[in-house]
Amino acid sequence: MITTTIAGSLPKPVWLAEPEMIWAPWRLQDDELLEGQQDAALAWIKTQEDAGIDIVSDGEQFRKHFVHGFLEEVEGIDWQQMTTMGIRDNRYDADVPTVTAAVRRKKSVHGSGAKFCRERTNNQFKFTLPGPMTICDTIADAHYGSRPEMAMAFAELLNEEARELEALGVDVIQFDEPAFNAFMDQVPLWGVDALHKAIEGLTCKTAVHICYGYGIQQNIDWKETLGDEWRQYETFFPSLNESRIDQVSLECADSKVPLSVLGLLKDKEILVGAIDVASEVVETPEKVASTLRAALEFVDPERLIACTNCGMAPLPRYVAEGKLKALGAGAEILRKELRG
Ligand code: ZN
């Protein structure tokens, strides 16, 4: 009852990449880089275990960018042909590579990282991959001519990768789909179909993470335009509830998402974000417990998994550590209450 996990990323240690910067370049190369990534993942697994996080992750220590880290091992993408593109419905510009031919996975992308971690923790282990819609919103298309068609092509590659991760003993595979709330009306039309393709044949738990993004300035500005209540999720939660995805992750800490939208996900396990990743203030365990307690009005305790709002990559390392401890301790407060 009330298990704990994290949405995904954690800060890179200072010796691995420049801190407090998203997509920071590596400070090591080749074999040293791999060893550095492994050490960083191991340190974070230990920190998560000590903090009482049940379903731990590698903190995305093996990749720089949550989408491009996967695309680097995909054929059919031209990295010389960089295009400046307005992404997340033109919320911000990013320089992205271009799809110039049919896409194909060259080799396993995250298998070795996942295997390394799996062998070093007895906790449940979760791995995150970019979702097909979000990939399509983070790359330029000069080949497919249709986003749904390109999404299905990427979903096939994600499925190959996910099957490998499952075979390595990964317990939960999560697809990150921040693009879902930029293109709400597209989710029921093809977003869920693409996710279904990505999870085809999997027997491990599957999750989708949707969110309003990291605490970067463009997102903070955008959130100010959304009004007092963020009801965007109402558009597509019914189609997610009907989907075959097991878990949905969303932010509930200091968020304007009305908790009543959780009522639209009656058949899902819900990763309730109880840690604000846009603030460097470390929550008290009591505050975490109160966010989770409020969610209990709409989610049964068996379906509630305490989580962070989003990734913590841009935060200082000690802040992220503090937030992990607060998450574990806050969930424990609530468990005790429920046990009576
Ligand atoms: Zn997120």
User: From ligand 1's centre to the CA of 2, what distance in Å?
Assistant: 21
User: From ligand 1's centre to the CA of 86, what distance in Å?
Assistant: 18
In order, the DSSP letters of 117-132 are HHTT-SSEEEEEEE-H
SS3 13: coil
Degrees (nearest 5) of the Cα angle 259, 51, 321? 85
Q: Is residue 161 part of a domain?
A: no
User: From ligand 1's centre to the CA of 132, what distance in Å?
Assistant: 15
Question: pLDDT value at position 66?
Answer: 87
Asked if residues 233 and 207 have their Cβ atoms less than 8 Å apart, the reply is no
Q: Are strands 92-105 and 74-87 parallel, antiparallel or unpaired?
A: antiparallel
User: From ligand 1's centre to the CA of 265, what distance in Å?
Assistant: 18
User: From ligand 1's centre to the CA of 210, what distance in Å?
Assistant: 6
Q: Is residue 162 part of a domain?
A: no
Question: pLDDT value at position 206?
Answer: 98
CA 269 – CA 223 distance, rounded (Å): 26
User: From ligand 1's centre to the CA of 120, what distance in Å?
Assistant: 26
User: From ligand 1's centre to the CA of 312, what distance in Å?
Assistant: 9
Question: pLDDT value at position 297?
Answer: 96
User: From ligand 1's centre to the CA of 87, what distance in Å?
Assistant: 15
User: From ligand 1's centre to the CA of 213, what distance in Å?
Assistant: 5
Q: What is the mean pLDDT of residues 284-297?
A: 97
Q: Residues 195-207: pLDDT tens digits?
A: 999 999 999 999 9
Q: What is the mean pLDDT of residues 286-292?
A: 98
Q: What is the mean pLDDT of residues 11-15?
A: 96
Q: Residues 311-333: pLDDT tens digits?
A: 999 999 999 999 999 999 999 99
User: From ligand 1's centre to the CA of 233, what distance in Å?
Assistant: 14
Question: Domain containing 211: what range?
Answer: 3-64+109-130+167-339
Stretch among 29-38, 105-114, 207-216, 296-305 having the lowest mean pLDDT = 207-216
Q: Residues 55-85: pLDDT tens digits?
A: 999 999 999 988 988 999 999 999 999 989 8
In order, the DSSP letters of 135-198 are HHTSSEESSSS-HHHHHHHHHHHHHHHHHHHHHTT-SEEEEE-GGGGTSTTHIIIIIHHHHHHH
Q: Is residue 97 part of a domain?
A: no
Q: Is residue 152 part of a domain?
A: no
User: From ligand 1's centre to the CA of 340, what distance in Å?
Assistant: 34
Amino acid residing at 290:
S
Question: pLDDT value at position 319?
Answer: 98
Q: Is residue 71 part of a domain?
A: no
Q: Is residue 203 part of a domain?
A: yes
In order, the DSSP letters of 36-67 are HHHHHHHHHHHHHHHHT-SEEE-TTTT-SSTT
Q: Is residue 312 part of a domain?
A: yes
SS3 77: strand
User: From ligand 1's centre to the CA of 31, what distance in Å?
Assistant: 30
User: From ligand 1's centre to the CA of 156, what distance in Å?
Assistant: 23
Q: How many domains does the chain divide into?
A: 1
- Going by C-alpha positions, the residue among 178, 194, 217, 180 that lies closest to residue 66 is 178
How much is the mean pLDDT over the chain? 94
CA 340 – CA 337 distance, rounded (Å): 5
User: From ligand 1's centre to the CA of 73, what distance in Å?
Assistant: 23
Q: Is residue 86 part of a domain?
A: no
User: From ligand 1's centre to the CA of 169, what distance in Å?
Assistant: 24
Question: pLDDT value at position 215?
Answer: 66
Question: pLDDT value at position 1?
Answer: 84
CA 265 – CA 42 distance, rounded (Å): 34
User: From ligand 1's centre to the CA of 211, what distance in Å?
Assistant: 4
Q: What is the pTM of this model?
A: 0.96
pLDDT above 80 for 217:
no
The dihedral through the CA atoms of 25, 30, 36, 37 has a sign that is positive
Q: Residues 122-166: pLDDT tens digits?
A: 999 999 999 999 999 999 999 999 999 999 999 999 999 999 999
User: From ligand 1's centre to the CA of 124, what distance in Å?
Assistant: 21
User: From ligand 1's centre to the CA of 30, what distance in Å?
Assistant: 29
Asked if residues 46 and 13 have their Cβ atoms less than 8 Å apart, the reply is no
User: From ligand 1's centre to the CA of 66, what distance in Å?
Assistant: 10
User: From ligand 1's centre to the CA of 199, what distance in Å?
Assistant: 20
User: From ligand 1's centre to the CA of 273, what distance in Å?
Assistant: 10
Amino acid residing at 278:
A
Q: State the pLDDT confidence band at 223, using cuts at 50, 70 and 90.
A: confident
pLDDT above 90 for 226:
no
User: From ligand 1's centre to the CA of 59, what distance in Å?
Assistant: 13
CA 127 – CA 268 distance, rounded (Å): 19
CATH of the domain at 229: 3.20.20.210
